[in-house]
Amino acid sequence: MTMLFADASQRLQQALKYVDISEDAIEYLKFPQASLSVSIPVRMDDGRLKVFQGYRVRFDSTRGPTKGGVRYHPNVSLDEVQSLAFWMTFKCAVLNLPFGGAKGGVTLNPKVLSKFELERLSRGYIDAIADFIGPDIDILAPDVYTNPMIMGWMMDQYSRIRRKLCPGVVTGKPVAIGGSLGRDTATAMGAFFVIKTILAKHNRSPQETTVAVQGFGNAGAEVAELLFHAGYQVIAVSDSQGGIFAAQGLDIPSLRQAKEASRSFKAFYCQDSVHNLVEHELLSNEELLSLDVDVLIPAALENQITEVNAKDVQAKFIFEVANGPVTSAADHHLQQKGVQVFPDILVNAGGVTVSYFEWVQNKSGLYWSLAEVNQRLQQKMIAETEAIWALSQKQATSMRTAAYIHALKRIGEAIAAKGTRDYYINH
């Protein structure tokens, strides 16, 4: 078992102490159902041929077709993709979506590719994995450094291969070709509903709550703005190059506009850094994680808070908008310090929830208004947050362990419905 996947599995072991689940279910969840590694040859704009490495992992399909994003990033590996597929399995179960977990990715720096090269790469990836995916098998979605345009290319390429329109194979598409309203803000919106629900339980008013957000990308910037408009004091944000801090609070809408306006796009990706845009105190990503704030929101990549820097964290609440930003070893240290961590498989599940809504709309041909999408999202996120909170109080466990217990019960029931050892021995 690789290191990243072993770390992800640690959370499962903790939750198993509280769940009466069959041996069959535990055995099923030890390994991914299927893993695929592919080579993607791309003709570059200068005539060179370059081969990229791509991956797709379907972890478990007991509760339905697998579902998960595709990321373009230099650190993409089979280990990372497998771990993210594992998390997606539990995330879908936490929200009671009829999906299993999957993930995909291509190892590259997308910022150095032209739009034409990105399109050829995206279509080449689908050519390579087309027999591995499908609207009722495995459904793709955007993730790190992928966006609606890229999802549209992928859906179009799959439809060309199948010689029929297949909008349900990909979610997060442009609205004009079958995407759902609200999908672009769904991860942040879902996180916002969780944050509001939890902080209300601690009698935290927005005006007296300070927030720091690591990661000023799609999800991080959007959740920062939602919190700003709700009256929270967002005092620090950062991107991959560094961050800015203002004790009196940042004007998040102006900051987002400044970053948008200063982009120099050769492809789809921002070349600028947050800290180059405004005159505030500068700080590093590492310094942001150790700020004395009420709420810390890691919204970048995994493994940001580790056993090494957990001792420096001063926040009272951590809401994981990124996938796996806190390691299992860090969890132990944070718990000892009294820092409450709210897990990714709940906090950032708004994205997959609205992806589910998009899939349903594609299947039915009936499309919903933005208000209807957000209302359905709010109902689901709050209901599952309340259920996990109640479970954590009843079992005297962390919210992370409670979320895994919640998911394991649903996965266990689905596996038991197909027959387990107890059924065959005792009947």
Q: Which of 17, 30, 50, 103 is catalytic?
A: 103
Tokens of 130: 């087309």
218 labeled part of a ligand binding site: yes
E strand or H helix at 356, and its extent?
helix 350-364
Query: Left if phi > 0, otherwise alpha if psi is -120 to 50, otherwise beta: which for 90?
Result: alpha
> Residue range 227-237: average pLDDT?
95
Q: Give dist(CA 312, CA 317) in Å, integer.
A: 14
Per-residue pLDDT of 347-382, as tens digits, reads 999 999 999 999 999 999 999 999 999 999 999 999
> Residue range 62-72: average pLDDT?
96
Per-residue pLDDT of 330-339, as tens digits, reads 998 998 899 9
Query: Left if phi > 0, otherwise alpha if psi is -120 to 50, otherwise beta: which for 341?
Result: beta
Second-level CATH architecture of 19-166: 3-Layer(aba) Sandwich (3.40)
CATH topology classification for 186-346: Rossmann fold (3.40.50)
Query: pLDDT-derived band of residue 269, with 50, 70 and 90 as boundaries?
Result: very low
Tokens of 156: 């179009």
Give the mean pLDDT of the chain: 90
Radius of gyration over alpha carbons of the chain, in Å? 21
Per-residue pLDDT of 100-144, as tens digits, reads 999 999 999 999 999 999 999 999 999 999 999 999 999 999 988
Q: Give dist(CA 63, CA 129) in Å, integer.
A: 22
Q: Give dist(CA 172, CA 151) in Å, integer.
A: 6
Q: Where are the domains of the chain?
A: 19-166, 186-346
Q: Which residues of 398-422 are buried (b: 16+ CB within 10 A; e: fewer)?
A: bbbbbbbbbbbbbbbebbbeeebee
Query: pLDDT-derived band of residue 239, with 50, 70 and 90 as boundaries?
Result: confident
Q: Give dist(CA 295, CA 352) in Å, integer.
A: 24
Other Cβ atoms less than 10 A from the Cβ of 141: the count is 26
Question: Above 60 in pLDDT, residue 57?
Answer: yes
Q: Which of 143, 115, 168 is nearest to 56 (CA)?
A: 143
91 labeled part of a ligand binding site: yes
E strand or H helix at 239, and its extent?
strand 233-239
Taking CA atoms, 93 is separated from 90, 144, 359, 384, in Å, by: 5, 22, 17, 10
Question: Above 80 in pLDDT, residue 56?
Answer: yes
Compare 13 and 340 and report the one with higher pLDDT.
340
374 labeled part of a ligand binding site: no
For residue 103, indicate whether it is catalytic.
yes
Taking CA atoms, 233 is separated from 181, 222, 338, 372, in Å, by: 28, 15, 22, 29
Question: Above 70 in pLDDT, residue 77?
Answer: yes
187 labeled part of a ligand binding site: yes
Per-residue pLDDT of 132-169, as tens digits, reads 999 999 999 998 899 999 999 999 999 999 999 999 99
> Residue range 170-178: average pLDDT?
96
Q: Which of 323, 364, 320, 376 is nearest to 181 (CA)?
A: 376
| Pair 392, 402: CB distance under 8 Å | yes
Query: Is there a common fold for 19-166 and 186-346?
Result: yes
pTM above 0.75, yes or no: yes
Q: Which of 98, 120, 150, 119 is nearest to 49 (CA)?
A: 120
Q: How far is CA 28 from the centre of its chain?
A: 23
Per-residue pLDDT of 178-220, as tens digits, reads 999 999 899 999 999 999 999 999 998 999 999 999 999 889 9
Per-residue pLDDT of 240-250, as tens digits, reads 778 889 988 99
